[in-house]
Amino acid sequence: MFLRLKRIGLLLAYGLQLLLTSRLCSGEYRNQPLRLRGGMRCVIQRVTSASVKVDGETVSSIHRGLCVLVGLSTEDKRESLEWMSKKLLSVRFFEGEDGKMWKRNVQEIQGEILLVSQFTLHFRLKGSNLDFSKSMSTEAAREMYQEFVDQVKRDIGDPNLVKDGKFGAKMEVEICNDGPVTMQIEHPEPSTQKKS
């Protein structure tokens, strides 16, 4: 009896999968918003230099290191800040002394980090229209973004190695991408980000 119910359950699940697939292929959901996964999202660029200007004035600049665009969502919690900070400092974005790629992290090369708030990372599409309702509200994001800047400064050990832009301002971000190397890291981690 149990095995029969189990088989029925599997058949129902398979049938539901086929139904959803056929509806997607037929375009039934064509006008529905494209929903991206929620959670903290950082776009990391390995750079030889980077800077931020506001109203024509340079407010921050770094030499070799990482330029990080930081997107906060309505779902983010404190644990995301701590996790992301440790990940930024531990991932091996840089080559080793032997010239081989992916051998050292930003701390091991004594690199700098430029953090830039970027609410547009949590966009959604509905046709050609952009929707940012998944982005954290301005005031909440201002506070949480500053917490993230402070977290990275604590974790790296030398706060002078961490710079940031001007939250909420219209910024000009100039980078010299080294490689080029650009990666996206999210928390909670999507299955495509983790290797089993």
Q: Known catalytic residues?
A: 118-120
Q: CA-CA distance, 21 to 28, in Å (whole number)?
A: 10
Q: CA-CA distance, 112 to 64, in Å (whole number)?
A: 6
Q: Which tokens sit at 165?
A: 């832009």
Q: Which tokens sit at 151?
A: 């977290």
Helix (H, G, I), strand (E, B) or coil at 40: strand
**CA nearest to 184, candidates 37, 50, 53, 25:** 37
- The answer to whether 68 and 113 have CB atoms below 8 angstroms apart is yes
**CA nearest to 50, candidates 119, 123, 106:** 106
Q: What residue type is assigned to position 79 of the chain?
A: E
